[in-house]
Structure 1
């Protein structure tokens, strides 16, 4: 009997164990999956770090000590204050609390991640599967376009786009999305190209299944694990790219709290007022490290290569 994508042997090893663990539809599956994931302490640490970032971003309106410091607040009497009990991360060059702005900066960073990956991942996955499945001219056009974009350094391309457009969060999101889909396209193309030669794909063709049915029910499920890992790893890089654009003045504009802009502004006062650039810089590092650790853990869990 031909394999189906829902049979354990047709899926990555980690996903096999996840689906074959006791009651497929019950809580036992989730308990076994969590037990296997929790055996990797680095992955759990990454998950905890991401949960803290999400909590800080979502709960910022209720947790920040100085909500009025989010906008164009100015208090020169409090400028350049070092970290203290009143200001845990110190204050910036116009007297605003850095902790408050870092927490709101996480909101901007995560919004950028959601927007970029929400656009780039579906486009890249769709084009990668179409190129692998239909082959021929479709494959040539999609993959040559992909090669052309990969030949251009991503940061250079993003800088070119944001230079032409007015610097803003939306335009930064568009610029990063424009260069990010091709990585997912190439990953899914490589996976789908190997899947389309499997026996269960031939069985689906012989049974009269449509192109859409085969793509949706036979090919895509076998790519989900790799897509999940790649997306998790990409989240940290999107934060870094967004911060880089803002650092260069081509991303989110003041007075909107943005981690890259805060690092750029604080760099003007180094080394005397080190906390003004170091604190938002550490916040960026914390988020990127969390996503990378979680992505590595998921890669080991699903036993896939990305």
Structure 2
């Protein structure tokens, strides 16, 4: 699956902007447009998955700069492992937030007493990649100022790519001692390789699973029901739950009304059907799903689980 034309056009515009910029920086405003073009939906759908994949790839590129600084301190490796665990539902959001705060505070303390700006920035890039996994990137759903710069937002709101660019260049764009040419090399890689790869790596598949009954148990919430669109697999993560209300008309029943949408992050741990365990479930099949994650405990009969799942 290739990138859509709107994303290709935006990436070309961004490359031209970086090359023309006096310090070869990519504005935060343009990056926000790129994040939005990866998928606008809320919840754990393909847009989120692409932005997480992009942040992790970005942080890993500069991780060797941290390792040159400190081979003993594994904080960046720990947060990247946590991000991987969270993206597949093995680490909950509360635990991830606590880990992020500890790691952020640790990096702030180190950077205040360390002259190795490259290593510190690489560490911050990994920490902020975890934050992307927790809260997604920050971008408005409407048009944003393309000229917005990183030094116009709070430090905790700076993203993995900003810190990775700073690590590559030996300082942020407003640091006169940093290297603009190395910054240019980083952004050209990010725009020509990292972003397209993140988009292509995550395909999307619309699915809907109607919940007929719910049985919370210690090993996970069990939800029996029927899938009536798409294919689901063990390890997939639903991004939304909602209600469907049938509408009666003089001619019979019309299309159901969708309501009560709420974002969730519910992972499929097991699929059981017809007395057997399955790795996937196709449209028309009934089954019992063993579920975990944010929102699983609040499921009720009549809910529909869905979204654009990553495949």
Common fold by TM > 0.5: no
Higher share of residues assigned helix = 1
Instruction: Report the structure number with the largest CA radius of gyration.
Output: 1
Alignment TM-score, normalising by the size of structure 1: 0.29
Question: Which structure exhibits the higher relative contact order, with contacts defined as CA atoms closer than 8 Å and separated by 6 or more residues?
Answer: 1
In the superposition, the TM-score normalised over structure 2's length comes to 0.29
